[in-house]
Structures are given as structure tokens and as C-alpha cells.
Structure 1
């Protein structure tokens, strides 16, 4: 089949490489210009460079609705469009243009976690599995019929970085299997409608989303720290007016009561911070902070940074 590919960052790069390695012909690539957004500078393998290296025409666009772009796509005569990590809305005159429409590759187990940063949100929320879905694009966000879906388990110590590597490796086999089914006409009867009552939608993450709220339960705070693992912007708090990035933390063994954010006691290789919506009860664990980083980039063991107990970590300076 003749394929037009829309994609960005490492997700798009893996998709394009899978198409190049397949029996299908990539006739045009659309990708976004480089961005200064913190999350878009992570996992930023360059789709345009890969296309140019393989002598595939490439167009750069922030949004895909202009007449010149539509003319170029029509002129490429695609049998199908394949999209992965395209960051803006696609008009129906584009996604419905080829005979087989547009196959979108999304890094969640749809219908849950449509939208942005699904791995991070899923980890924060304690999901047991994450994955990748190949679905047919329609006018609703990530809502079209599903062709293939693959999942991987979330381990108790997994970070968002671990889950990224595990799910990005699913892209190539899903892309190849999907296109081979469609090209051979063996996709009939395999498309499954999404249960829209189970759908959830998430926005892009920004700096505010990494700010620690010590009223959260300790287990959820520990997942936030794991979800904001390097190279993502770390979960952060403030101590005596200075921002601290929490690099490593887990749930304490003991139960500790008091005011959320209190720097309380040493436990094992870390320092316990009182946490939770009803921390005053003393019925729940705190967050055991093991390692932290100051804004100058220096990393400390928590026990070395907090020489004495007492005082508070706060959400604002």
C-alpha cells in the first residue's frame, strides 16, 4: 500500500521506521517543527531527518488544515494514512481522504487515557497495565474502532521511563501487523467499537502538574515521583523557599501522624514526610524520600540534605 505518515518525536520515528522496513511504500511524511515545550524535548528522535535520509518527501506543519498540504496529500495518492503522536486536530477532509482512512497509533489502552501523556497519568492513577492501541481515526478524539491492542504490566517499582521503553517497543509490530491485515483484506470483522462509557480524556502535562500536594496519600505521591522520573521534569516541592525535586521515594513502613508536609523522622535509607488528607489521624504511612535534587542540579541522599528533623515542605516558596 501507499502510505502517508503523520508523526512526531520518538513515537512517530518508530512508526516511520516500521513503515520503511515493511512491504509498504511511504510516499509522504508530515511532522511538526521542533518545540520548546518541556515534554516535547524528551524522546525527540527526529521524524523529518529519518524521512530525508530515506528520500521521502517531508512537510513541516504545526496544524494540518491548509490547502497546500491537502493538495500534497491528495497528490501522493495514499491508500492509507498512519498517524502517531500528531499533536493537533486533523480535519475529516484529511483523515478520511484515503480509501482505508487513517490508522492512529495511541499509547494507551483505549478507550481509557485518550489525549496526552497517557503513560504518566496511568502510572499516577495506579493502573495495573498500559499499552498501545491501533484504531481508525474519526471525528472524536481517539474514539474510532480498534483493530489491534497490546498491553504490558506495570510493576511496583516501574517509572514512566520504564513504561515508555516497554510500550514504544510495541509500535513496530503493531504497525506492521495492522497494515498487513488491511492490505490483505483480513481486517474485516476485526474492528471493534469502543465502549464510550469507559472513555477518559487527559490534557498535556505542564509544570503545575508536577507540584507535590502533601495532602495526597503517600502511595499516590510515590507514584507521582515515579511518573515524573528522569528525563521528565521531576515532582517538586519547596523547603525554606527553595525548590526541591524529588528523585526517588516510596511509601514508609511505619504510620505517622501530624500535618502534611512535616519533615518527621528517619526511616531506613530515607526521611519520612507526613502525607495524606487525614494525616492527623496517624493511621497512614508517609512518603519516604530517598533522593532529591536542588535547582542547581546537585543530587543528595535525603538523610544528607535534611540534617535535622522538623520544619515543613510546602507547595509554594
Structure 2
């Protein structure tokens, strides 16, 4: 099939590579201009550079809604558009232009985790698996019929970085497998159960701020979800920002006030956690590695030279 590819960053790069390695013909690539936004510098392999290396025409756009681009797409005469990590709305006249419409490749197990940062949100929420879905695009974001879906389990110590690498490896089988099904003449695919749909927003500063009234298990997932190269989860100690780079759930249960710097356990320093911590039924969060406001990274046992005092969500 003749394919136009819409994509950006490493997700788009991996999708384009899968298409270039497949029997299908990539006739045009549309990608976003390079950005200096902090989140868009993460996983920033260039779709434009890869296309140029293979002699594929490249169009750079923030939004795909101008007449010049629409005419270019018509002239390309695609059988299908494939999109992955396209960051702005694609209008119906574009996604309906090809004979087979548009296949969107999304890094979640739809209908759950539509929208943004699905792997991070899924890890924070304690999901047992994550994955990639190829679905046909319609008027509602990430809501079209599912062509193909693949999943991987979430391990007890997996970080968002681990899950990124696991799921990005699913892009090729989902993309090429979906196109092969469509090219075979199949037209009926699996409608999404919209009663199960969830939609998530982009991550922001407040989303990585540690709230010590949350259970230690939740905080452990948050810290794993904010693994490098993502911005680290943070708290405040004595009025200064302190990033928590690594932690485990404590073996013992600790009672008291959330945020209290309480006890050395193994290689960590236990912080009391949970809104009902006063009951003594909760595990604490044993912090093992931190980064200070001035950029020093060190073991928590070296940073916390004495017990007592509190970590807080604000200075």
C-alpha cells in the first residue's frame, strides 16, 4: 500500500522505520518542527532526518489544516495514513482522504489511557500491563475501531523508562501487522467499549509533586514513573526542593504524621506516608537516593544525617 506517515519524536521515528522496512511504500512524511520544550526533547529521534535519509519527501507542520498540505496529500494518492505521536488535531478531510482512512498507533491498551503520557499514568495507577494499539481514526480522539493490540506485563520494579523501551518495541508488529490486515481486504474491526474509556492530560509540575498523604505504594509507583530522563518526583525539605530518585516501600509499618523523616531501614530512610498514618497500619516510603536543589545526587542515608523534621509538598 502507498502510505503517508504523520509522526514525531522516537515513536514516530520507530513507526517510520517499521514502514520503511515493510513491503509498503512510504510516499510522504509529515512531522512537527523541532521543539525546545522540555518534554519534547525526551525521546527526540528525528522523523524528518530518517525520511530524508531514505529520499522520502518531508513536510513540516505544527497543524495539518492548510490547503497546501491538503493538496500535497491528494497528489500523494495514499492508500492509508499512519499516525503515531502526532501532537495536534487532524481534521476529518485529512484522515478520511485515503482509501483505507487513517491508522493511529497509540501507546496504551485502548480504550483505557487515551490522550497523553499513557505509560506514566498507567504505572502510577498500578496497571498490570501496558501496550500499543493500532486503531482506525474517527472524530473522537483515540476512539476508533481497534485493528491490532499488543501488551507487555509491568514488572514490580519497572520504571517508565523500562516500559517505554518495552512498548516502543511493539510499534513495528502493531503497525505492520495492522497494515497487513487492512491490505488483506478486511474491513470489520473491533469497536472500542466506550464505557471503559479513560482520557488523560499532559503531565505538569503539580503531577510530580509528592503528597505524603498518599500511601507508600502509590508514591513508590510515582517515583518509578518519573525515572530519568523524565523530571523526577519532588518534595521539599527545610524550604528547598528535594528530588526523590529512588525508593522502596518499607518492610515494617510506621505510624505518625505524613512526611515525617522517621527511621533508617536497610539502605533507606523511611518517610511516614498515608492520610491515616496515625493508625500505624501503613508502610512508609524508604527513600534511597535523592538530588538536591543544587544538583548534588547522593544516597538518602548521607543526605539525612539525623532523623526528625518533615518533608512537605510546598516550601
Indicate whether the TM-score tops 0.5.
yes
Deviations 1:219-268 (A, max 9, x none): 00000000000111000011111111111011111111111111111001
- Distance in 2, matches of 1:309 and 1:174, equals 51
1:174 to partner: Cα distance: 1.3
1:35 to partner: Cα distance: 1.8
1:296 to partner: Cα distance: 2.7
1:180 to partner: Cα distance: 1.6
Aligned to 1:242: 240
1:38 to partner: Cα distance: 1.9
- Distance in 1, matches of 2:234 and 2:313, equals 8
- Distance in 1, matches of 2:293 and 2:76, equals 49
The 5-angstrom pairing of residues 1-317 of structure 1 reads: 1-185=1-185, 187-189=186-188, 191-317=189-315
- Distance in 2, matches of 1:286 and 1:209, equals 21
Secondary structure, counterpart of 2:308 in structure 1: coil
Runs of 4+ in structure 1 deviating by more than 4 angstroms, as ranges, are: none
> What's the TM-score once normalised by structure 2's chain length?
0.98
Secondary structure, counterpart of 2:134 in structure 1: strand
Deviations 1:15-61 (A, max 9, x none): 00011111111111111112222221111100000011111111111
Secondary structure, counterpart of 1:108 in structure 2: coil
1:11 to partner: Cα distance: 0.3
1:184 to partner: Cα distance: 2.2
> What's the TM-score once normalised by structure 1's chain length?
0.98
Secondary structure, counterpart of 1:244 in structure 2: strand
Uncovered stretches (5+) of structure 2, i.e. residues with no partner: none
- Distance in 2, matches of 1:60 and 1:95, equals 17
- Distance in 1, matches of 2:6 and 2:194, equals 25
- Distance in 1, matches of 2:104 and 2:187, equals 17
Task: Tell me how many residue pairs correspond in the alignment.
Answer: 315
- Distance in 2, matches of 1:237 and 1:13, equals 35
- Distance in 1, matches of 2:294 and 2:48, equals 34
Secondary structure, counterpart of 1:237 in structure 2: strand
Secondary structure, counterpart of 2:311 in structure 1: coil
Deviations 1:68-90 (A, max 9, x none): 11111111110000000001111
Secondary structure, counterpart of 1:150 in structure 2: strand
- Distance in 2, matches of 1:133 and 1:39, equals 22
1:188 to partner: Cα distance: 3.5
- Distance in 1, matches of 2:21 and 2:281, equals 56
Deviations 1:150-170 (A, max 9, x none): 000001000000000000000
- Distance in 2, matches of 1:82 and 1:72, equals 16
